Structure 1
Amino acid sequence: MTTVVFVHGTGVREPALTALTARVRDGLHRAAPHTHLVTCDWGTHHGATLAANGASIPNGPGAGAVPAPLRDPGDGAAQGPLRDPGAGAEPGPMPAPGTEPTSGPPHGAGTTADDNRRPASGSTVADARRPGTGVTADGTRRPGPVAAADAHADAHAEADAAAWELLHVDPFAELRLAGAGGAPSGPVPPQQAPPDAAVRGRLAELLADPAGLDATLGLTAAPHGEQAVRTLLTASELTAAAEAADADTLAELTARALVALLLADAADTGDPLSPTATGRDAAVAVLAIRLGGRPPGSERGPARLLLRAVTPLASRAAVRRRAALTRATHPAAGDILRYLAHGDAHRTHLADLVRAQSGPVVLLCHSLGGIIAVDTLVTHALPQVTLLVTAGSQAPFLYETGALPSLRHPSPLPPSFPPWLNLHDPRDLLAFAAQPLFPAHATDVPLPSGQPFPHAHSAYWTNPALYEAVAGRLT
């Protein structure tokens, strides 16, 4: 039996580690039932902590009073707190709910500055060789209806990812824009409840059945759903959107806000798992029906509402939530710095765990876990390791920039280094390619989740394709 040693990434601590390990074990069991999973819990033993309870965070729990920031004395303005340069910007006219903007392609929709279309972010060699994809062997697009359909699909995927990127920061953005961008829908017939009353009533029904709510969401972050519903029930944005949007659009926007709220709360509390776009969208579809919408089947355009929103939303929201964000994310940043400064203990911990196993060992690693594994395999003789699998790894980037502790470019990997399967989501900005640097050992495989960054970095373990890729390499 093959032992799979799971090496987690940055910021993972209990109880999240137990939930993460359970998800990985379940995925492996489905794809490779002959494997045995062992977890390398380096975070508990060697991970970073806030030793002074966050005293270094401005306005944090351990910090004192912080003076108001000063303006540049040379700007001719009165002294006072700095103003967000985008705070006074007015958004352009909003499309009416259920319609799409008509002024050109959305930002980030797969076009370059000279209006040439980029290849699809998830394109692979297999795509290039498969008839009917609209992609030639050299990765360029063929003209004609197939290429046009591919381009439309790319633009839709990019627009949806852009919309969710803002929703993760401001879950009420679409509801707010819907309320501001359309005219009131007119008087409600006497026998018909107002749109906001109807949707609030259905939200209350979800709240009355927490177990059913978790089942409906079907997401890793489902336990956060009850708080998300309570937040929506008191939101003024819901009332404004109900006055401007039809019932179907309102149901979909409310469902998207609900899912965005629970994912944001899960991220704030350090949940190491994030659903793929497929799982996220499936939850939205089910919730939209439960909130009074029709089953999916027609394009209504809510995802486009966010594409004309002002971008300073993200910055202002991040500043307001800095203390909470830092406390949730400090293990991630701290773990990286601590490893680069004092990584011997991490590597020894992993090497000892591997040597304690009998039979062949596969290292299955995420993020910083992949860096630890690469360094350990370079510095320790571990012949029982037959395969290294990394997901969302920065080891190749550190090697190329001269920051990998064990090896500097252009030094090669030692001959004893095992085959390396490097999985990366095209939208994961913390994932890097290994094959161009280590062609004799590494194979890069794109693994798109459909999620925007940073959620793409945590969506590997909810993606069945990861476990299928690992199972395909086991002997």
Structure 2
Amino acid sequence: MLFVHGTGVREPGYSESLERVREGLRPVRPDVTVTPCYWGGTAGSALRSGGLSVPGYGTGREVADPGAPGAPGVPGVPGSGDDEDVELWGLLYLDPLLELRLAATGSGERVELAPGAVPPGGALSAAAQSLGGDDPLRELLDAAGIRAEFAAAVAAVLTSPEGRDLLRSPAAEAGPDILARAFVAEAVRRRAGLSGSGTAFDGTARDAAVARITGLLAEALPAGSGPGTHRGPVVRGVKRLAGRLALGLASAQAVKRRSALTDAAHPAAGDVLLYLARGGAIRELVARAVRAAEPPVVLLAHSLGGIASLDLLVERELPEVELLVTVGSQAPFLYELGALPSLEHGRPLPARVPRWINVYDPRDLLGYIGSGVFPGRVEDVAVDGRQPFPLAHSAYWGNPELYRLLAAELP
């Protein structure tokens, strides 16, 4: 049995998986020799120019927070002030009411109004409903790509429970900039949600629109109030807190850690891209291993290894191979997409392809079934590793169910 690994696998991970397969098979089929077929080291993807194509590669890997006091700058990485703004906008596009909720929650008890009294945010609400009449703002909204959605966005924010709570709270007089960002974020969210929308939003125009809205709203407030004059510590910290909530996911943090993220991601993604562009080296390595093995040969092939093994058997006559076992493989899916390198969709598997068993876990989102697209030529077998995705994609080797299946099916 040749153990053909999948995408992104490198040493020592391959040898650990190989040993798991040997241990799993030994009690049920001690007569079977499990032989390595490791292609990741010589035929897998690598940054062959040392990462020269990646902005700031290497220079930012050790910098946990380039914006921290005394931290060195990283060429090509935005400054900490920009990072905070980008993080905040990333959150607001998902939840335009976030700042309103935090400000109203942290501002103390909501003001109970006497009958007929004007709420603290009444002036803000009235000014907000008049924003559409400002010509300079309309031009900025046009430049930002959100003019058509802006009126509905303002109405949605003002009538939301969060908007009403803010306008009735002590934080209302300090809320022009918070409301301005909420209006714009809601407009962007609505525009981005349009079916088929491909709008490229201009961050500079967005910021200019927010500044214009903030100024117009502040003009409606009584003298001595407004941004910077009536802020409590909670309101002052809203923007900073909101940015911190996204530390693990925000794009600014991804930029800071781009070197480390590249190192972690490129073997897996790179192997797929390399194989689909120039997969001959991987297939040739598998073919050499087949020729060197004592027949009958079984190919136990995981993920991308299953694609390469099937492609090889479609392209070449390899009578030594008596059985192909793919595990968590995307080969049927690629065939249906018309992207399987060896076989155009609609063409049947050649007769030289041996018996094929395709093992998949329904929880493995990278495992596909083949009997529908290759009727009569592949047997799909489901196993349950009881692991969530993505762990389900590598849980096969620890599943005794797989080895009981192999024990019965191997030559």
Question: What's the CA shift for 1:372?
Answer: 0.5
Cα distance in 2 for residues equivalent to 1:68 and 1:404 = 41
Partner of residue 423, structure 1: 359
Partner of residue 86, structure 1: 91
CA contact 2:56–2:77 (8 Å) conserved in 1: no
Deviations 1:257-295 (A, max 9, x none): xxxxxxxxxxxxxxxxxxxxxxxxxxxxxxxxxxxxxxx
CA contact 1:6–1:39 (8 Å) conserved in 2: yes
Cα distance in 1 for residues equivalent to 2:42 and 2:331 = 22
Cα distance in 2 for residues equivalent to 1:455 and 1:58 = 31
Cα distance in 1 for residues equivalent to 2:246 and 2:91 = 6
Cα distance in 1 for residues equivalent to 2:89 and 2:304 = 34
Give SS of 1:390's match. Answer: strand
Deviations 1:192-233 (A, max 9, x none): xxxxxxxxxxxxxxxxxxxxxxxxxxxxxxxxxxxxxxxxxx
Q: 1:59 to 1:83 in 2, by over 3 A?
A: farther
Deviations 1:16-43 (A, max 9, x none): 2221211111111123211001111111
Partner of residue 329, structure 1: 265
Cα distance in 2 for residues equivalent to 1:409 and 1:397 = 10
CA contact 2:18–2:36 (8 Å) conserved in 1: yes
Q: 53, 68, 73: which is aligned to 2:78?
A: 68
TM-score between the two structures when normalised by the length of structure 1: 0.48
Cα distance in 1 for residues equivalent to 2:78 and 2:291 = 55
Question: What's the CA shift for 1:86?
Answer: 3.1
Cα distance in 2 for residues equivalent to 1:313 and 1:55 = 27
Q: 1:384 to 1:33 in 2, by over 3 A?
A: same
Partner of residue 393, structure 1: 329
Question: What's the CA shift for 1:323?
Answer: 3.5
Question: What's the CA shift for 1:52?
Answer: 3.1
Give SS of 2:26's match. Answer: helix
Deviations 1:65-97 (A, max 9, x none): 2243999xxxxxxx953525437749x9xxxxx
Partner of residue 28, structure 1: 25
Question: What's the CA shift for 1:328?
Answer: 2.0
CA contact 2:87–2:250 (8 Å) conserved in 1: no
Partner of residue 249, structure 2: 315
CA contact 2:87–2:246 (8 Å) conserved in 1: no
* 1:308-387 matched pairs, under 5 angstroms: 315-316=249-250, 319=254, 322-387=258-323
Q: 403, 406, 409: which is aligned to 1:467?
A: 403
One-letter code of the match for 1:83? L
Partner of residue 184, structure 2: none
Cα distance in 2 for residues equivalent to 1:15 and 1:361 = 25
Partner of residue 50, structure 1: 47
Deviations 1:119-141 (A, max 9, x none): xxxxxxxxxxxxxxxxxxxxxxx
Give SS of 1:436's match. Answer: coil
Give SS of 2:341's match. Answer: coil
Question: What's the CA shift for 1:313?
Answer: 7.6
Residues 1:439 and 2:391 are matched in the alignment:
no
Residues 1:457 and 2:393 are matched in the alignment:
yes
Question: What's the CA shift for 1:383?
Answer: 1.2
Greater CA deviation, 445-454 or 81-90?
A: 81-90
* 1:274-285 matched pairs, under 5 angstroms: none
Question: What's the CA shift for 1:407?
Answer: 0.3
One-letter code of the match for 1:47? G
Cα distance in 2 for residues equivalent to 1:50 and 1:42 = 16
Cα distance in 2 for residues equivalent to 1:315 and 1:355 = 47
Question: What's the CA shift for 1:395?
Answer: 0.7
Cα distance in 2 for residues equivalent to 1:361 and 1:377 = 13
In the alignment of these two chains, the number of paired residues is 250
Give SS of 2:264's match. Answer: helix
Cα distance in 1 for residues equivalent to 2:247 and 2:377 = 44
Cα distance in 2 for residues equivalent to 1:67 and 1:41 = 37
Cα distance in 1 for residues equivalent to 2:312 and 2:349 = 12
Give SS of 1:45's match. Answer: coil
Give SS of 2:357's match. Answer: strand
Q: 1:413 to 1:15 in 2, by over 3 A?
A: same
Q: 10, 14, 18: which is aligned to 1:13?
A: 10
**5+ residue gaps, structure 2:** 61-73, 102-244
Residues 1:406 and 2:342 are matched in the alignment:
yes
Task: Please give the root-mean-square deviation of Cα atoms over the aligned residues, in Å.
Answer: 3.2
CA contact 1:68–1:81 (8 Å) conserved in 2: no
